[in-house]
Each structure stands twice: as structure tokens, then as C-alpha cells.
Chain A
Amino acid sequence: MSQTNDQTDKTPILSVSDLNLYYGQAHALKGVNIDMARHQVTAFIGPSGCGKSTLLRCFNRMNDLVESARIEGSIRFNGAEVNDSATDVISLRRRIGMVFQQSNPFPKSIYENVVYGLRIAGVNDKTTLDEAVENSLKSAAIWKEVKDRLNESALGLSGGQAQRICIARAIAVNPEIILMDEPCSALDPISTLKIEELIEELKDKYTIVIVTHNMQQAARVSDVTAFFYLGELIEAGGTRKIFTNPEKKQTEDYITGRFG
């Protein structure tokens, strides 16, 4: 949990200004400016290849893994520059968790999956770990389903369960932000519903940024929606406003499905 007070509560937790990203010659993000407020759900929508996942992966520097990626501009997390070479990527990633499109449980037991982040941070105290497992599995709304088989392999879980284990794994290290990259795109409607309810609950403790293809989902879960097109941020604002009364024509065309 972030040590929040009224003062910091009003400043944006993440602030992106003039961000440009290139994959080799391809210009993937073009001059993006956006702020994200604390304890809110921000949804990124837009057609495939518009750069919304790329932007998400800039926040925890996952683009470091792509050799050809080159970033210009600034991302400030609690006021500190993320793209600075002096930034400690390890602690940054611990404070900004991530859930991926394809659920990716490790080939370990459910218990070991959840405590993985703590173990690599050097926590080995049994009671601390037990507590963390129970709390994060409860927060991820999967405690009841798995509490009797914590020592079984996480690979035997269904897609929806595995995705919630991945959310629990992200929560266990107590991040400030959780990034979700299309977390429901590989799930059935019932699992999707569960994850959406979960996002609603997690909002109280964490700031959530979610990338989604499903506009209904964005409308249901988010407070703020940002629409991207071809690497540009076309429009960002309150979700209700974006979906009922967008300022830009492109946004309206996209959300009404009239997009070419």
C-alpha cells in the first residue's frame, strides 16, 4: 500500500509527457501525454497495433527486453523519472506489478507462485510468507478455491484461476500500481466477470492501468479511458464522457463500431 495522504493523493501517480518510442525505424508511440490518478482504474483502448500495450510496458520498463526499442520523453512515477538509467529497475518493477494477456503461472506450486516475488526479494520467514499467501489469494478472490491445494502445481488450474493466481502473485509484493495487459482476452465470460469484479475491489488499494480490446469492459470497470490510434493518444477523459460524448470524431467512430 502506498503511504498516501491528501497532499500526494491529488498529484498523479504516473505522469507521461512527450513520450516517443521507436522499434528500430518504426515509430510506435508519438508524443503521448497523459496523467494517471491514484486509486483509479485507467483503461487504454484502441485497435490492435495502436501502441497501448507498448505504453503500458514503458511504465515498468519491460521494453528494456526489446533490443531495438528506443525511448524519448519522460515518464514520472511519484515524481521520479522512470526512464533514467540510474533508476533501480528491480525496485521499480516491485512497485509496479504486471498481469499479462496469457496467464503465465510458473511451474511451481500455487504457494510458491504467490511468494515468488517475496522470495526473490529475500523474504524467507515462514509466517510472513504464509500471511502474504493468504492475504493476496483472498484479495485476488481465489482463496476459497485453492486453499486446500496450495502445494499442488499451479499448472493444473483453469485459465481463469491461473489468471487470478497471477494477480495474487502481483499483489503479494505489495505494489502501488498494477498494470493489466488484456487480462481477460483469453478467458471465458464467467472468469472475465470475476476478474472485473476483482478490479473493482482492488481499486481501493491500488492504482490500476488496464489495456483492453473489449469496450464494454472498459466502460464497466474504468474511471478514466484513453483512446489510442496509430501510436497517438487521440483522447483521454472520464469514462462516462468518452463513451457518451467524445470530443473527437475518431473516438466516436471507434466506440460505435464504425471504424474502418
Chain B
Amino acid sequence: MWLGSVFVKGYLMKLFWKTGEPYVLATGAALAIILVMSLTLVGVVMSNGLGYFWPRALVKFELKDGSAALGQVTQQEKNPISGIRRFQLKVGNRDVFGQDFRWIDEQDITTRSEPADTVLLERREHGNYFGFLQGVTAEGLNLTAATPYEKLQQARKLVAGKLAATRKIKEQMSDLNNSAESLRLKVQKLEYSGKEKNAAAITELTAVREKAMAEFSGLNEQFTATQADIGRITAQFTDAVGGSKDISLTEIVALQRPNDMSFFAKCGAYLERVRELLLDDPRESNTEGGLFPAIFGTVMMVLMMSLFSLPFGVIAAIYLREYARDGLMTRMVRIAVNNLAGVPSIVYGVFGLGFFVYGIGGSIDSLFFPERLPTPTFGTGGILWSSLTLALLTVPVVIVATEESLASIPKGIREGSLALGATKFQTLTRILLPMATPGIMTGLILSMARAAGEVAPLMIVGVVKLAPTLPFDTNFPFFHMDRKFMHLGFHIYDVGFQSPNVEAAKPMVFVTTMLLLAIVIIASSVAIYLRNRMRGKYTTSTF
């Protein structure tokens, strides 16, 4: 009986291995691990990033030594040495306390409260201010509201109206500045081509320019005066330790009383912050404010990169697969292309600097803009050189994908077309390329994802921490290929590791990462959707 059962068990085990069940389980497990890993990645980024904009409660701790602290609890832990629980408090008021964060031991705390009248100010400089509103000094403003908080809100609305007026002046000034600059370049060019010959034109243009400059300085005076006028409208605050502070209303970006907000009010504040993130310019050396220039720069750079690498890669692959004679040379080229995809990206960056920026850019400058030298125009990093460098980096991916998809088209299809009297070129354009499009799209998706994530080569060929202008604007010729630009990947590095206040910038790192991830996912999804539509159209039954 016992022997029998051992025999049956052994037989069943053998059968178990024979069916291949364990291997199927192993493949399933591998897939599950990969799935969990990618979900974790997205989860970590989201959980760190999403909470950043939620208006958190301002907690006031009364301490045993008689002082007090006000701020947002960012984390709590057991002190690794003494074993006592402690809180990390973001106390803000960097200009007063000198630092944003403070650790407080639980045993030092006497009371913990969340006073409803605490205010949170987002300021243009020095980070957030946490404190209590005392009053508003508003000369020339007719404030009708009763409480100081309502008064402040009313004052802010009036100030916002005045600031809008100054913005118009600013726009006029920027237009004047642009035309003065283009005049200056014209004069420079005329002077370069012959000072005596163009003397009349030069004096004329200089006169026009001086007029514009005079107008500019007039406006500037007006602007500074109004600005100073508005700046005199201030509000008085006191902080947790009793110090008082006078803050100009132009300094205040946002005003909240987080302890007094309903859930919906908090949702509204959250959405407002998201809007600011997506559409506004950064502040405070990129650690606050929006990311619009970086988003724009990343998307534009990736699109330009695709514009260069897609046609180039596809044409190269067509030659390699359809026209080149299959021999040692073709095989070598193929190996070289595959290896090119594995070259460290910084190498491309250095190449881009030497070849595109100094080589081609330098030549363009000396040929077309000699009058501006030694100030470079194209002979310095810019969005054009960045996208070309990345196109070079991603072109092997497109080549390999195109070649693979051309190779996977059944021989019968080509022969069918040729047997009807089609030339090789007609077969290629009418049959093969449409059929290869889904595969080419796969290559494009991979290359776009890679380009969006690259940072190292871009640092050398055109990305900057803060670009004053976008590479696209309403001034002719609209696309400014020579301009430097901002990029989300570089932004992460810069905010996370180069900013003066790394601890405060940490959430911003995750928010930026989340955005970069979102851009890659959106771009890939669009491409995948297009690919699937084509696949439905061109897939043969023989695949």
C-alpha cells in the first residue's frame, strides 16, 4: 500500500514536469514581477508627487521652553539615537528663521493646535510665510470689508487690476526692446559691410533706434513708478514666535487659510496649483511655480527630433534592406548601426558639441552673421542642435525597426507586385512601405520615449536651467532654432540637486518626474493608437 502510493506520487510528479506546467508558471511569474515593478514605479512617483499641492493643515506647537512653532508636519520618525518620537516641521519664513525645516521632539511639546486664523502666503521670494494677519496698509484704496482677512482679499483684487495695467506697459516695453534689438543688429550688419558706404543708412537707423530707446526709458520710468506705488500697499503679519513682518501685496502669489478651508475649497486650491504648474513660469530658481517652459521645450524638442530621425532612418533602412547587395559591407553597416544604439548618450552630446555647435553652427555664424561675432548665434547650444543630436542618438532604433518590418513582409507579396509589371520602386511605395508602417511607428515610439528621457547630451548642446524666452513665439520667424530651451529631465536634475534649498524642492522633483512620465505616456499612446489603426488595415492573413 505504502509502496503503491509512493509509486503513484512519483508518477504524478513526472507527469507534472512533463506537461510543462512549471515552466508556464515561471513565465507567468516573470510577467507578474515586471507588472508589479512598473506599477510600483508609477505608484512611488505619483504618491510622492500628487500630494504636494494639497493644502495641508498648519499646526501650532507650544513648546516647554515657552516658545512656539507653526508649520506643516512633513514627516515623523523615531529619533535614531534617543528613540524619542519627533516631527519634522516645515516652518517656512526662510527670511526670518534662516531655514525651512525644523525637527521637534515630542517630549518638548506641551500643546498642539490648529488655529483657524493662520494664513499661508506663497511669496515671490523667500518661500512660504506662515503666520497671523494683523492688518492692511492701503493708501489710496477704498477698502470696505470688515475683517482684516477680507480686507486683504479685497486689496489683492484691486492690486491685481493695477498689475494688469503695468503688464500692458511691460508688453509695450518688450516690443520696443525687440525692435531696438533688431535695429541694432541691422546697424551692426551695415557697419560690418562698410561704414563709409552705408553712413546715411546707419545714421537714419540709429536715429530710429534712439527714438525707440527714448520711448523705452520713458515707459520704464512710468513702470517703475507705478510698481513702487503698488508696492507701498502692504499687509502686516506676525509669526509664531511673535516677530512681525510687513509684506508688500505684489510679493504675494497666493493666500490661503488652510485650517479654515472646506474639503471643496481645498480641491479648488489644488486644481489652481495644478493649473499653475502646467501653464506658468517657474519662480525661485525653479523650485516653485510652473513648468510650462520645460514642458513646451521637451515636447518641441522631441517633435523636432522625430522630424529629423524618422525620414532619415526610414530611408537608410530601405536602402539597407531593399537595395544594398547583401554582402560583407551590408553586414558591417548593420552591425555598426546596432552598436550605435548602444553608445553612451553623453558621447553623442560631446559629438554634438564638436560637430553641430562648433562645426556647423560656427560655420553658419561666420558665413551669415559675421557682424555679431564674437557673440555666437548658432555657434552655441540651441534647440536645433539638441534635436539633431538626439535624432542621431535615436536613428538606429528607427533603422532597426524599419528593417525588421520590411523583412517580415512575405516574399509572395513582393513577387505578386513585380509579376504585375511594377518596378521595384512602385512595389516599395505602394505595397511595402504601407505594410511596414506599423513597425516603423513602433520604432518611432521607442525613439520618442528615449529622446524625451535623455538629459546628459542635452546639457552640453542647448538645455539651460532658465530660458528667458520660448523657442517659439509671435515674433518673426516664429520658430527660433538658435534659442536655448528648458527640459523636464534636466529640470529634475537641476531642482533636485542644484537648487539652494534641496529639502524644500524634493516634492517638486517628483511632480516634474510625474509630468515627464505623463508626456512620454501620452506621446506613446497617441502613436500606439495610430499604429493599431494601421495594423488593422494592412495586416495580411499570412502574418
Chain A residues in the interface with B (C-beta under 8 A)? 60, 62, 65, 67, 90-91, 93-94, 97-98, 100, 102, 104-107, 116-117, 119-121, 153, 155, 166, 169-170, 173
- Per-residue CB contact flags for chain B residues 353-369 toward chain A (1 = under 8 Å, else 0) read 00000000000000000
Contact between chains at B540 and A107 (CB < 8 Å): yes
Chain B residues with CB under 8 Å of A166's CB are: 416
Residues of B within 8 A of A121 (CB): 421
Q: Closest Cβ of chain B: how far from A169's Cβ, in Å?
A: 7
A119: B residues at CB distance < 8 A: 430
What's the minimum C-beta distance from B112 to chain A, rounded to whole angstroms?
71
| B419 contacts A98, C-beta separation under 8 Å | yes
Report chain A residues within 8 Å CB of B415: 62, 65, 98, 100, 104
Measured in the bound complex, the distance between the Cα atoms of B418 and A104 in whole Å is 12
B435, A107: Cβ atoms closer than 8 Å:
yes
Q: Which residues of chain A come closer than 8 Å to B422, judged between CB atoms? A: 90, 116-117, 120
CA distance A245 to B148 in the complex (A): 119
List, in ascending order, chain B residues with CB within 8 A of A98's CB. Answer: 415, 419
Q: How far is the CB of B475 from chain A (nearest CB, A)?
A: 46
**Choice from B325, B326, B413, B426 contacting A104 with Cβ under 8 Å:** B413
CB-based contact B420/A173 at 8 Å: yes
Q: Are A117 and B410 in contact (CB under 8 A)?
A: no
Residues from chain B with Cβ under 8 Å of A155 in the complex: 539-541
Q: Could you give, for residues 514-543 of chain B, a 1 whenever the CB lies within 8 Å of some chain A CB and a 0 otherwise?
A: 000000000000000000000001111110
Determine whether the beta carbon of B423 is less than 8 Å from that of A100: no
B431 at interface by CB-CB < 8 Å: yes
Task: Note all chain B residues with C-beta closer than 8 A to A102.
Answer: 410, 412, 542
Q: Which residue of A lies closest to B409 (CB)?
A: A107
How many Å lie between the Cα of A129 and that of B422 in the bound state?
17
Most chain A beta-carbon neighbours within 10 Å: one of B422, B426, B542: B422
A120-B426 contact, Cβ under 8 Å, with A91-B421, A107-B537, A155-B539 = yes
- Listed in ascending order, the chain B residues whose CB lies under 8 Å from chain A are 325-326, 410, 412-423, 426, 430-431, 434-435, 537-542
B421 touches A120 (CB 8 A): yes
Task: Please tell me if the beta carbons of A93 and B416 are within 8 angstroms of each other in the complex.
Answer: no
Known contacts being A90-B421, A93-B418, is A106 close to B431, with CB within 8 Å? yes
Picked from A67, A105, A153, A169, the residue with its CB within 8 Å of the CB of B420 is A169
Q: Chain B's nearest CB lies how many Å from the CB of A246?
A: 32
* Contact assessment for B541 and A93 in the assembled complex, using a CB-CB cutoff below 8 Å: no
Question: Which has the most chain A C-beta neighbours within 10 Å: B415, B426, B434, B539?
Answer: B415
Of the candidates B412, B431, B434, B540, the one whose C-beta lies within 8 Å of that of A100 is B412
Q: Check A120–B430 contact: CB distance below 8 A.
A: yes
* Docked complex Cα distance between A90 and B435 (Å): 23
B418 contacts across to A, CB distance below 8 A: 62, 65, 93
Complex contact A104–B421 (CB within 8 A):
no
Residues of B within 8 A of A107 (CB): 431, 434-435, 537-540
Q: Nearest 5 CB-CB pairs, A to B?
A: A94-B421, A104-B412, A117-B420, A98-B419, A104-B416
The answer to whether B412 and A97 have CB atoms under 8 Å apart is: no
Give CA–CA (A97, B420) in the complex, Å: 6
Q: Provide a sorted-by-A list of 30 A–B residue pairs whose CB atoms are within 8 angstroms.
A: A62-B415, A65-B418, A90-B423, A93-B418, A93-B421, A98-B419, A100-B412, A100-B415, A100-B416, A100-B419, A102-B410, A102-B412, A102-B542, A104-B410, A104-B412, A104-B413, A105-B540, A106-B417, A107-B539, A107-B540, A116-B420, A116-B430, A117-B420, A117-B422, A119-B430, A120-B423, A153-B537, A155-B539, A169-B416, A170-B419
CB-CB < 8 A to B538: which residues of A? 107
Contacts of B412 in A (CB 8 A): 100, 102, 104
Central interface residue in B417, B420, B423, B539, by most chain A CB within 10 Å? B420
Q: Give min CB distance, A20 to chain B, whole Å.
A: 23
Instruction: Please name all residues of chain B whose beta carbon is closer than 8 Å to the beta carbon of A117 when the two chains form the complex.
Output: 420-422
Do residues B421 and A106 form an inter-chain contact, with CB atoms below 8 A?
no
Question: CA–CA, A116 to B421, complex, Å?
Answer: 10
In the assembled complex, how far is the CB of residue B423 from the closest CB belonging to chain A, in whole angstroms? 6
Complex: A100 Cα to B420 Cα, angstroms: 12
